[in-house]
Structure 1
Amino acid sequence: MRFLGLLLLLLVLAVLSLSAGRVWLGPIALFDALMDPEGAGRMIWNLRLPRLLVGMIAGAGFGLAGLTFQTLLRNPLASPDVIGVTQVAAFGAVAALFLGAPVVLGAWAGGLAAVAVLGWLAAHPRHGIETRAVVLQGLALAIFAAAGTEALILRMGDSSAGMAMTWLSGTLNAAGWAEVRRGIWLAPLLIPLLLAGRVLDRLELGDDLARALGLRVGLLRAGLGLIAALVAAGSVALCGPMGFVALAAGPVGRLVAGGRPSPLAAMLTGAAFVTLADVLARALAPAALLPTGLYTALIGAPVLILTVRRMARR
């Protein structure tokens, strides 16, 4: 029932997203617009629908990547936006924009580089990856990547620098069908993480017990970590780094799933976070069109605090 309620909430938010904006559409007007591609329908099909789909795809990717890293490292703080994966992916995307290369390739290269650097820094000759060290070293990596991104932006022209700064705040304002098609390429990467619920559940028990259950812990951690990094970086390439989505989706999804790591719940939660933030961005200030990432932080921070407090009581 909890999963059904979460799915219903996402559907309601999707309808609100199609209705919200400078021109609000009621249920009947929205239905007519969806049926008629002219007039208001042109606004729905060319602007609001692709914006909704890009936000949901990116939110689902952030949620899945966040839960995966948090479970692999057995730390609720080990989301890609805390351990530096998101920031290095953003640096790679801005570098690609600076060089005239595809943004998604730069973001993917940055995400993979972040995982490789973290694995090298946190590796222990006897105990493997020190999970607690990943968070601390990831914070340093995130600061370093943010400084590099700022240095690149200072070397850009005024128009490119303005576009990069807006994108870095996390925005869906320029989302169109081209971004939707790029988002579809994330589907093959989302599927392995979505099907990895049982593996994540066993990995959370500890390395020794997971090995006793027949899992190849090192190989699974490396493989799932690389896929999660690609998913997070691909989501960054779609709409920029949106704060708190990956960090909050995992704990909220666990609450929905009764305390267990649930990729489906994390995916739906991430998509709902971004959709709700975008609805607020267009409902509260339709003329300003503030970045959606601003509202994900405003929503995610208190939700994360309440969720962690409730989990601590239980």
Structure 2
Amino acid sequence: MSVLLLADHDKGELSPSTARLVAAVSAFGPIDVMVVADNPDAIAANAAALAGVSKVLTVTAQNTSESVTNALLSAAGRYQYVIASAASVGKDVVPRLAAALDIQPVTDIIEIHGPSRFTRPIYAGNALETVVDPQPKHLLTFRASAFRPAASDNAAPVEKLDISIASAARFLAAHRTDSDTPDLATAQIVIGGGVSVGSAEGFRLIEKLGKTLGAAVGATRAAVDAGYAPNDWQIGQTGKIIAPDLYIAIGISGALQHLAGIQGAKTIFAINTDPEAPLVKIADVALIGDLFEILPQLTAELEKLGLNR
């Protein structure tokens, strides 16, 4: 068996999700990682350091969906498994690749039971299904947050693929929200705020607690729609799927779409005025009270313990 894994990267750096995918599929056989980028060398070097990687393949091309799909298509014939993360790039590229290869993909995998048996969520995360993929070639996407990352103690060779990637699309510009917080999809601690936070200024309290704990900061769709938080903070069925060791939910009632995005959280700590809120009921620990009174006190006590980072 052999594996071709598409590397996720951003701003010239390898995404943490790639290390998680490498660890997840290591039992499938030798793993070749493909990096498609304008300047792939630095990204490839980081990928080569991941334990379990046999080889890194680089393709110099713009990181558009069409270019990435064509790069994968040029190499896919040699592999039994073609794998990507179930994030924005994977969701864009894998359907294109599936059509070109005439393969039914298995998406959003959160657990592996064998070479062709997987578990994935359905019905907005309200149920789990175990599927068997009988196809000779497997096209899979994984929720990286559901797996632990691979170690960085390797020195795999890097091979440049000299292939011509035709693409009608051209990258023009990227518009992003700058942040110094951990990546939301792979962070070990996540703090989420709901529409009850009341304003963008209210989210400053959540950001301060996040910096104290070294946590990523997220928000519900309602809070994002209200303009309290940027789009890339959105957690849930239509946002980012998270599986942190600790999720602190502040002023969040717990709509089904949000619960679908946090079902992988190991421990949930809720702060809410409503003891009957759905998220409070499933929380491991809950503080019932006014978030504007609790957050400053909680942050101050944590700073006293020397947790401010």
Structure with more contact order per residue of length (Cα contacts < 8 Å, sep ≥ 6): 1
TM-score, structure 1 length as denominator?
A: 0.23
Q: TM-score, normalised by structure 2?
A: 0.24
Structure with bigger strand share is: 2
